[in-house]
Structure 1
Amino acid sequence: MSLRARCTDRDFLRRLVGLAAPISIQQLVTSSLFHLVNAILLSHLGEAALGAVSLVGRMGGIASLVLGGIAGGVSMFCAQLGARSDRGDRGNHSARGDRDDIARVLGAGLLVTSAFTLPLALAAALAPGAVLHLLSSDPGVIEAGSAYLPLLALQYPLLAVILVFSAAARSLGRPRLPLVTAGIGAAVSTLLSYGLVLGRLGLPALGVHGAGVAALLSRLLEAALLVGALYLGPRTTPRAVPLPALPFRDGTLSRFLAPTWPLVLNELLWALGTFAYVAIYARMGTGPLAAIGVLTPIQWVCIDVFVGLGSAAGILLGQELGAGNEARAYDLAVRISIVGPAFAALGGVVIAFASGLLLAPFSGVGPAALGGARTMLFMFAATLWIQVSTMISCLGVMRAGGDTRFMLLFNTGGTWLLGLPLACAAFALGLPIEAVFACTLVEEFLKMLLWTHRLRSRRWMRDLGAAPLPSRP
């Protein structure tokens, strides 16, 4: 069968879309649409409020990406261990042993996320003004952001629980449950934001503070629904997520951290790099920061439409590698690396034609900021297929194969060695925000070329289950 025929095979597309769609929809309703609704509502409060929430949201994005890296480690192990469990015995390692290993991986994921989120939440809650003052000199931005940052920080422990259990549920064949609970949380968040930001539905008008309250309450509800649904029902079915177990025995924690720490460091360094971009925008003034505040939620929505392809690739490839099917894993990786960018190229055309419709809700923003956002949206649409290609390589292929150290060099090197120096140079030369934004896109071209070479080399393929977690006494 030719490569074109394999890429358009109905069974392949059905499996890929069947996994990708729930993940993308969950990401959309929990993150992107939440930020988009907030941006639209807060744009009616002025550029300072919108810029402040955009700045704080990017700070929260750093925490979210790090937590996502830890959850990616959970998913990486659960996909391969789950495939081994479905096959029964593998040498001397029983299916029951694999389920116990999954329980200990969950425990490790929760332990590491707690160690990260609790100090971060405490620091952000106690000194929000001091943190924001380092990034912006605008008093309006600092005042508005100080009302939002402490409430955002309190969401981090809840987000850790949601991401870890969602990763386990998807990897063990239950992708729809996180989608349902996320949808309920998003609906509650939207209603509460509408009421508390603008003073509708009989609720007080709290402005930026109201947006934070709405987000915190919706996260609490989502976490409670997800954990309750996972463990109130029967836990003996093959798709059941086992109860987390302490990971200290037999070196489980160190075994979990070995391939996961590069994943987490990758997310942290990449997030710090993207946040450095935002710091540059903030130093350019309230208008450019507001333009980014308009563009960013639209970007997140568009990217998250395709993020499920990366996560689905990770699950499918992890299952094949866990089953010892390296040839099938390579073939899947090639096909997904072609299909994903092809879909994204079509999506970029749609975004370009719908730009007026996408920007229409932000009528409260000044014409200069809105014009800058429009130009940058066209630039984003033209390069979306390249960004999706690198996203699939990181979220899916390299993560599934445990090739996390190369992923660390690959993903952060482009940002810190190419994108940021170019953006800083454009800022120092006094170029407009559109030019600075263009510099942030250059790194994607380099990463796409590097990834194509890595894919063909097959050096990204590692079977994490080849040496099982230490057996229990």
Structure 2
Amino acid sequence: MRGDSGRRYGSRMALPAPADHDAPPRTPTPGQAWRTELAATRRLAVPVAMVQVGLMLMGVVDTMMVGRLSASALAAVALGNLYFFNVTAFATGMLMALDPVVAQAVGARDHDAIAHGVQRGVLLALLLTVPTALLMVPSAAVLRAFGQPAEVIDAASRFVWLSIPAIPAWLGFVVFRQTLQAMAQTRAIVLTIVIANVLNAGLDWALIFGHLGLPALGTDGSAVATTLSRWAMALLLLAAAWPRLRHALRPWLRDSARPAALWRLARIGVPIGAQQLLEFSAFGAIGLLMGRLGTVAMAGHQATINLASLTFMVPLGVGAAAAVRVGHAVGAGDAAGARRAAKAAMVWGIGFMLVSAVVLLLAPRALARLYTPDAAVVAVAATLIPLAGIFQVFDGLQVVSLGVLRGVGDTRVPMVVNVVGFWLVGLPIGVWLGLQRGMGPAGLWLGLVAGLAAVGVVLGLRVRHRLAGELRRLHHA
């Protein structure tokens, strides 16, 4: 079956050049190879970062639109979006197993392995839909347990419930996105995100406020708009990228559904999902602790974390590019190319965050005023933004390192490093400084700095260790 499907499949599918590993007529000099790698990483990282910003922008538009209704409506939608992404973080991370699996298969020019990887990714997304949806059901009880304001819980819970139908679409979109990124094909993803953002804004306008003859649904309208936009995102991406994806999805290979093979793919993805969930929840825990310090502290924290999240999109894109470039090199058996790709990603990711850090350290008050005219909130944010500047560099180091390690298929150690760094270093230090030593918001953020520094440095050392050793391709068949 495997050999026959490979002949049929391989005869029709055109693969992109994986990572400049197809031997050129002349062997490039080390300097030429380095410049080529820097350029290739940049070309892949920029659109991936744009996609991340676009996904973030959809939530921003939701909250801005409902903010015209009332402060409680704004809080409800923000809380609903936060709940959705925290609950789906594990499933999304699991599907990132496609990064090394598909990228290494592309590097090896292994058509069967690409098809198996994508088809198993689709099946895994469908299997993950059910438990993810079940975790959405008790949203009201969970929000009450975490002491959220009573006046927003009902609306936030309805937002979550109305978002449940979007789960298979969201996870399907992730499968297609990771596959296309692994093939270094990003144009269709960028186009899809642009269209989805326009659609989401238009649906928000119509369904929240009751335009175009539609009923005014308020916060419920925002949830319906987001759900419809996520379905549009998945279907648009599948349609726009069908020339690239169709040979990975058709014909359906019978052994793609073998439980043992699905389990091997899941074993690669589970640590990635756990790492994402642990990181998301650590930042969420700091936010909940910040709420104990009052509304002003919480507002200053939200402004700062939003600013840091925007700058983080660039190294996040670089990390995704690193997973692809390193994966291509490993699949092609090019250890030197894998090391070169890792170094190029570090240069771009850390270099950008150094520039970002300088800006945050030099202009904290000006940046804070972009978010609010409230003098008290500006004062809090102005103390936190320089701390965000410090952790920028470590944040860039950790996310690029994660991408490199994902490219070589190393997912378990990063999960352990995240547990120790965020939960055994960062949070305890933040609680001690912020709540017990009376340093308030700055103390909680110093905990974040400590946690990120620990994670970033250890993962950077892990990258150095892994790339110095033998690099073997993953096999999940």
TM-score (norm 1): 0.83
Aligned counterpart for 1:118 among listed residues 100, 125, 130:
130
* 1:68 aligned residue: 92
Opposite residue 408 of structure 1, the aligned amino acid is M
Find out whether 1:12 has 2:19 as its counterpart: no
Structure 1 position 389, deviation (Å): 0.9
Aligned to 1:424: 431
Question: Root-mean-square deviation (CA), in Å?
Answer: 3.1
- The corresponding residue for 1:271 is 280
Q: How many Å apart are 1:20 and its aligned residue? A: 0.6
Residue pair 2:364, 2:383 contacting (<8 A) in 1 also:
no
**Residue 34 (structure 1) aligned with residue 43 (structure 2):** no
Q: Distance in 2 between matches of 1:370 and 1:40?
A: 20
Q: Following the alignment from structure 2 to structure 1, what is the Cα–Cα distance between the partners of residues 92 and 208?
A: 28
Asked if 1:436 is matched to 2:461, the reply is no
Task: Choose from 112, 119, 126 the match for 1:107.
Answer: 119
Structure 1 position 53, deviation (Å): 3.5
Is the contact between residue 321 and residue 329 of structure 1 (CA under 8 Å) also seen in structure 2?
Answer: yes
Partner of 1:94: none
Counterpart Cα distance in 1 of 2:473 and 2:426: 37
Structure 2: any 5+ residue segments left out of the alignment? 1-29
| Alignment equivalent of 1:372, drawn from 366, 380, 385 | 380
| Aligned AA (2:125) | T
1:120 to 1:258, Cα distance in 2 relative to 1, 3 A: closer
Aligned residues: 446
Aligned counterparts, 1:17-416, within 5 A:
17-30=42-55, 32-45=56-69, 47-85=71-109, 98-124=110-136, 126-197=137-208, 205-231=216-242, 235=246, 245=253, 247-249=256-258, 251-351=260-360, 359=368, 362-363=371-372, 367-394=375-402, 396-416=403-423
Q: In the superposition, relative to structure 1, how do residues 143 and 461 fare at CA in structure 2: closer, same or farther (>3 Å)?
A: farther
Partners in 1 of 2:361 and 2:224 — Cα distance? 35
8 A Cα contact 2:291 2:297, kept in partner: yes
Paired with 1:298 and 1:200, the residues of 2 have a C-alpha distance of 32
Distance in 1 separating the partners of 2:253 and 2:295: 48
* Distance of 1:254 and 1:358 partners within structure 2: 47
Conservation of the 8 A alpha-carbon contact between 1:76 and 1:402: yes
Give % identity: 26
Greater relative contact order (CA < 8 Å, ≥ 6 in sequence): 1
Letter in 2 for 1:432: G
Structure 1 alignment gaps of length 5 or more:
86-97
C-alpha displacement at 1:42, in angstroms?
A: 4.4
Cα gap change, 1:53 to 1:127, in 2 (>3 Å): same
Alpha-carbon distance in structure 1 between the residues aligned to 2:84 and 2:328: 32
The CA deviation string for residues 387-431 of structure 1, in whole angstroms up to 9 with x for no partner, is 01110001x111111111111112222011111112333454254
CA offsets per residue over residues 410-462 of structure 1, 9 Å max, x none?
Answer: 22220111111123334542542232123122111112321332233236866
- Deviation of 1:9 after TM superposition, in Å, equals 5.0
